[in-house]
Amino acid sequence: MWPIGLCSVAALGIIIERAYSLSHSQVLPNGVALAAQNALAGDAQAELGSSELARVLAQVLEATAQGEAAMRECMGEALDAATLRLERSLNWLASIAAVAPLLGLLGTVLGMIDVFAQLMQSQGADLTPLAGGISEALITTAAGLSVAIPSLLCVGHFDRRVLRLSVDIESAARALVRQRQAASA
């Protein structure tokens, strides 16, 4: 049960951290895209902040002097890096979701081995205590599943959230490139 408990604590920590880090206000704060567009229009440096959107737009702005092709290439690289940062820790959460039921099953198997060992020693005695032993052995499977199921659901939710946020970041970066195209035309 200790390993399952540790998995539970780790999963909860990752879920809380990712829920905060993947919030709209942390990744796509208001005013960043507008500040980047104003900086592009006025050829001035803009303080965009440290959000993922700000990082991508700052890198696209840095490539402005090199032309639209460089901006697009820089945008692609910056988006890939941002997506990797947004996905941080999700592989750990997925691993916990996969390992927790296996740990529970291992606990159940070990408990059943103990129950069968007691059964062999009892030789016709009252078998009622063995039913309690079997019930106790199955608790680890239930515990493992109770850690795995919410973890797996959160992995799916966070994967969809990362996809939506990545699309929104890409949309803002493409708008910056289009603004540069319009200005040079």
SS (H, E, C) the chain: CHHHHHHHHHHHHHHHHHHHHCCHHHHCCCCHHHHHHHHHHHCCCCCCCCCHHHHHHHHHHHCHHHCHHHHHHHHHHHHHHHHHHHCCCHHHHHHHHHHHHHHHHHHHHHHHHHHHHHHHHHCCCCCHHHHHHHHHHHHHHHHHHHHHHHHHHHHHHHHHHHHHHHHHHHHHHHHHHHHHHHHHC
Rounded Cα gap, residues 7 and 60, in angstroms? 40
Look at residue 94 in the predicted model and tell me its pLDDT.
97
Rounded Cα gap, residues 39 and 46, in angstroms? 6
Q: What is the pTM of this model?
A: 0.85
Q: State the total domains in the chain.
A: 1
Look at residue 81 in the predicted model and tell me its pLDDT.
96
- pLDDT tens, residue by residue, 7-54: 999 999 999 999 999 999 999 999 999 889 888 888 566 788 889 999
Cβ–Cβ under 8 Å, residues 94 and 149? no
Task: Tell me the two tokens of residue 73.
Answer: 């290439």
Look at residue 146 in the predicted model and tell me its pLDDT.
97
- In this prediction, the residues of the chain whose per-residue pLDDT falls under 50 are none
The number of angstroms, rounded, from the C-alpha of 40 to the middle of its chain's C-alpha atoms is: 33
Look at residue 29 in the predicted model and tell me its pLDDT.
94
Domain range for 53 is: 2-184
Look at residue 127 in the predicted model and tell me its pLDDT.
67
| Plot region of 112 (φ>0 → left; ψ -120 to 50 → alpha; else → beta) | alpha
Rounded Cα gap, residues 170 and 78, in angstroms? 10
